[in-house]
Structure 1
Amino acid sequence: MARVLVVITPAEGHVNPSLGLITELVKLGEEVVYVCVEEYRSRIEQTGAQVITYPFLHDAFSHDPILQPLEYSHPYQFIHMVTCGIIPKMIPEVLRVIENQAFDYLIYDSLMGWGGQILAEKLGIPAVCTISSFALVEPSGLHDKPIDTEELYEAIMNTAQKIASELQVSLPAVEDMMAHQGALNIVYTSRFFQPRADELHDRYCFSGPSIIPRQDAPAFPLDLLREHPRENVYISMGTILNKNLEFYKLCFDALKDLPINVILSSGKNTDIEPLRELIPDNFIVKPYVAQLELLQYTNVFVSHAGMNSVSEALYFDVPLVMIPMTSDQPFVANRVQELGAGIVLDKNNLHASDLREAVMEVLGNSVYKNKAHLIGESLRQAGGCDYAAAAIMQQFAKV
């Protein structure tokens, strides 16, 4: 039995995919210590792992000016967010709470970038990198656009040099700060869905999405759907950028009076009361829904194209209408559209008529459903948590 340190960026789309893998490793006899924030303690403890927490600004990715998601037009913007935002806020705290403890290997989240390499170097142990979006084929994973990068580069390197000096670790080149450096890299998608998968070496393990029930998710009142047996459209914009009441009003205007059920997940921290009287009769608005359960009854998913949500939809053969907002969402959305399983809309030029037309197109054209099924089959056949855990055990576990 090996002692495993798990450190994942404290965000829904990164913690949730890790839970199935950790559950399997615990079942296989590994002693897992999962370091995260208090907000995720309950769901992590359900895996059987020991939880150690550290302080981190609640809802940081919505409120912290460095961590707030952006539309990245140059790789340095993303590297800056990680190196100047995530690493200095996470890594010293993680090292503090595990001081004097020994581990056999590390599992870290790719969003930590160089931070995962720092932990592995400080502890003197090999590492597994888990990737909750697409793996980066190019070192940066983004395409350069002509913007002034001198200030960004200087900020990145000044912060990185300070971190390297304080923690006494080696300093990588800026282009290597987000490279997947795990001795094994677990990618929560299929080789079919991954763009340019043939360019990735054999240290990449494509296990498909981690689909396990959320014990803390409320059961969805399916009887509300049975009262009106018709096609179901589900709308969710994730957990970070879900407080846009104007967007919800647009959804009401776009889809009211249609012979469909519309389920809108508004977000646990969104005050929907100002819109209460505007909610159409064919809408069901909840602050939080059991997404995995609801997707099994969904005909079209209107989504921000976060990788976790997209993967879960496609796993259940649900085609999408996508309105990408930030970060990797445009890349994910474009890949879905490229493979024919959905339509991408422009958030900067979005009208109710656009959303209505896209939803009705996907509902009425079986090609989208068929293409979603094709991707979904590749995700279901990828191997899942069992496959990922076995790959880790084969490479790292003690005999």
Structure 2
Amino acid sequence: MSRFLFVVPPLVGHVNPAVGMAAELAARGHDVAWAGHLELVRQLAGADATVFGCAVPAQEVRRTADLKGPAALQFLWESFLIPLADAMAPGVRAAIEEFGPDVVVADQQALAGGLVADDLGLTWVTSATTSAELTNPLASMPKVEEWLNGLLGELRERIGGGAADPRFSPHGVLAFTTRELFGAGELPHANVWLIGPSLSTRPSTSDFPWEWIDPATPTVLISLGTANLDAGARFLATAVEALSGLALQAIVVDPAGLLGKDLGDHILVRGHVPQLELLKRLDAVVCHAGHNTVCESLWYGVPLVVAPIRDDQPIVAGQVVDAGAGVRVRFGRVTPKLLAGAIEAVLDEEQGFRSAARRIGQSFQDAGGSRAAADRLEELLVHAGT
């Protein structure tokens, strides 16, 4: 059989979709290995995963939710994506040399994966865990696009790579969405494959109290993901106040311990939750519009209240609203009254949010996810004569 190397950044939301693809390929008899953060990949992919460790920037990246627009984009690229690519490049080269992959699957934010594979003349595919880049968000900002192209050109000079954009492999882009969510916009090129979310069984050490959930009462999840701990205090406090006047039960994810524990019988505060399993029992999700949380919620037909903070989240939030599957609120300015109204709206069956969420979820399941990704990757092997 063939060998596939997954190159991933040290971000949970970017590793998890790759885990589903890797598991499907392994089930078909292929050899799979990883290049990335050793501990994180093994935590998510399993202790037996073959992982070639890559360095990450020594300095922890911290930013505030106040950064918007071009300033947020500049921070993301100059303070995270470019330093990460420089740090990972030697490990990616070493992994390719030792493992000898037939195909490299490089996450869109693990730029070293695409550039190094391109430099070595390998077949490589982009894993686009968010659909935001597919919309060409810089089309109306030519100077910003020129600046970004300059950054990528300098990176190529340092770590290698051909002319291909490391965010969009000419061999193929695996995009974890469908037209029902993404919309009718033009895609970057013909080899962008809309395969729907790549979900897989996740190991969980959570001791979640399932008996706490009353199936006769509407249940809502409040979560800001794993990368927004610094920005969450005000929003979570607002959410708790909004929930206090609603006839429902709510689970609030608070990994940083920003809230107190005694918030009433109808509010459960947890540091972590088994999200995929929990989504099967939920009636609505309030979140930051992270692509993974949005897609996982819609997979189970759960409507959303989205409060985007930064990066791709405003674009994803817009897709949710345009598709009729949720309501958008302003993260930094929403009041308890407005948030309560948004939650009530998505819970109201007559307003159609749940039916739209179910329609998108069905499109996700029809698209194939991990199975479709494995099919596409195997097709590349046939075309390459491997």
Cross-structure match for 2:270: 286
Secondary structure of the residue aligned to 2:33 is strand
Map 1:1-399 onto structure 2 (within 5 A).
1-46=1-46, 49-56=49-56, 63-64=60-61, 71-73=68-70, 77=74, 79-80=77-78, 84-113=82-111, 115-134=112-131, 136-137=133-134, 140-144=136-140, 153=147, 157=150, 160-161=153-154, 163-170=155-162, 172=163, 177=165, 179-196=167-184, 199=187, 201-218=189-206, 220-226=208-214, 229-243=216-230, 244-267=232-255, 270-272=256-258, 275-277=260-262, 279-366=263-350, 367-396=352-381
Q: CA deviation at 1:98?
A: 4.7
Deviation string 1:12-40 (CA, Å, 9 cap, x unpaired) is: 11100111110011111211111111232
Structure 1: gaps of 5 or more residues: none
User: Over residues 36-58 of structure 1, what are the superposed CA-to-partner deviations in whole Å (9 max), with x where a residue is unaligned?
Assistant: 11232334543964112223259
RMSD (Å) for aligned C-alpha atoms: 3.0
Identity of paired residues, percent?
26
Structure 1 SS opposite 2:209 = coil
CA distance in 1, matches of 2:358, 2:251: 22
One-letter code aligned to 1:21: M
Per the TM alignment, residue 3 of structure 1 is displaced from its structure 2 partner at its CA by: 2.0
**CA drift at 1:233:** 0.8
Deviations along 1:303-356, one digit per CA (max 9) or x if unpaired, are 000000000000000000010001110011111111111000012321111111
CA contact (8 A) 2:117 2:161 kept: no
Deviations 1:141-164 (A, max 9, x none): 335359x859x93x9736743x43
Q: Does the 8 Å contact 1:252/1:280 carry over to 2?
A: no
Contact 1:6/1:107 (CA < 8 Å) preserved in 2? yes
Q: Quick one: distance in 1 between partners of 2:172 and 2:257?
A: 43
Instruction: Give ranges in structure 2 of 5+ residues lacking alignment.
Output: none
Asked if the contact 1:321/1:344 (under 8 Å) is kept, the reply is yes
Q: Distance in 1 between matches of 2:159 and 2:284?
A: 49
In 1: Cα distance, 2:48 partner to 2:203 partner: 13
CA spacing shift, 1:16–1:137, aligned 2, 3 Å:
closer
Structure 2 CA distance, aligned partners of 1:199 and 1:47?
37
Give the number of equivalent residue pairs. 381
CA distance, structure 1, for counterparts of residue 64 and residue 89 of structure 2: 15
- CA distance in structure 1 between the aligned counterparts of 2:53 and 2:371, rounded to whole angstroms: 27
Give the 3-state SS of the residue equivalent to 1:33 in structure 2.
strand
TM-score by length of 1: 0.85
Asked whether the 8 Å contact 2:118–2:124 carries over to 1, the reply is: no
Tell me whether 250-259 or 293-302 shows the greater mean CA deviation: 250-259
Contact conserved, 1:73 with 1:143, CA < 8 A, in 2? no
Structure-2 change in CA distance of 1:340 and 1:100 (3 Å): closer
Q: Which amino acid aligns with 1:389?
A: A
Classify the secondary structure of the residue corresponding to 1:107. Answer: strand
Instruction: State how far apart, in whole Å, the 2-side matches of 1:241 and 1:198 are.
Output: 30
Change (3 A) 1:45 1:16: closer
How much does 1:271 deviate?
Answer: 2.5
CA distance in 2, matches of 1:210, 1:219: 25
Native 8 Å contact 2:86 2:159 kept in 1: no
Name the CA shift for 1:14/1:7 in 2 (closer, same or farther; >3 Å). Answer: same
Rate the CA distance shift 1:101–1:145 in 2: closer, same or farther, 3 A: closer
CA 1:319 to 1:47, structure 2 compared with 1: closer, same or farther past 3 Å? farther
Residue aligned with 1:258, SS? coil
Provide the C-alpha distance between the structure 1 equivalents of 2:149 and 2:189, rounded to a whole number of angstroms: 28
Whether the aligned pair in 1 keeps the contact of 2:283 and 2:347 (CA below 8 Å) is: yes
Whole-angstrom CA distance in 1 between matches of 2:99 and 2:200: 30
Query: For the structure 1 residues 207 and 222, does the alpha-carbon distance in structure 2 shift closer, same or farther, using more than 3 Å as the test?
Result: same
Tell me how far 1:248 sits from its aligned partner: 1.9
**Separation of aligned partners in 2, 1:191 and 1:103:** 32
**CA-CA distance at 1:79 after TM superposition:** 4.9
The answer as to whether partners of 1:324 and 1:346 remain within 8 angstroms in 2 is yes
Amino acid at match of 2:138: L
